């Protein structure tokens, strides 16, 4: 990950709580999520999404509103 991406992610983390997985160094230990083209959300693929402050249930799925997580899912497809 280059310096520009790291800077962008750090700026997005301002609104994230300290317990959010996006605060962990690197992108290997992030929660599972998938970009499905929704503006402001990615689909949460975690087994217990209700345990996360950023997860939002809708229908039979859960969605993540964590800005750094959305950025990483879209830029790196992870």
Average pLDDT over residues 3-21: 78
More reliable by pLDDT, 42 or 6:
42
The string of pLDDT tens digits covering residues 50-71 is 988 899 999 999 999 999 899 9
Mean pLDDT calculated for residue range 8-14: 80
pLDDT of 25 strictly over 80? no
Q: pLDDT tens digits, residue range 27-53? A: 667 889 999 999 999 999 999 999 888
Q: What span, in angstroms and rounded, lies between the C-alpha atoms of 61 and 16? A: 22
């Amino acid at each position: 990950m280059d310096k520009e991406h790291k800077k962008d992610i750090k700026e997005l983390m301002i609104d994230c709580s300290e317990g959010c997985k996006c605060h962990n160094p690197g992108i290997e230990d992030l929660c599972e999520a998938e970009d499905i083209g929704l503006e402001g959300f990615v689909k949460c693929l975690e087994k217990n999404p209700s345990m996360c402050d950023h997860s939002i249930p809708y229908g039979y799925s859960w969605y993540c509103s964590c800005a750094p997580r959305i950025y990483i899912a879209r830029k790196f497809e992870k």
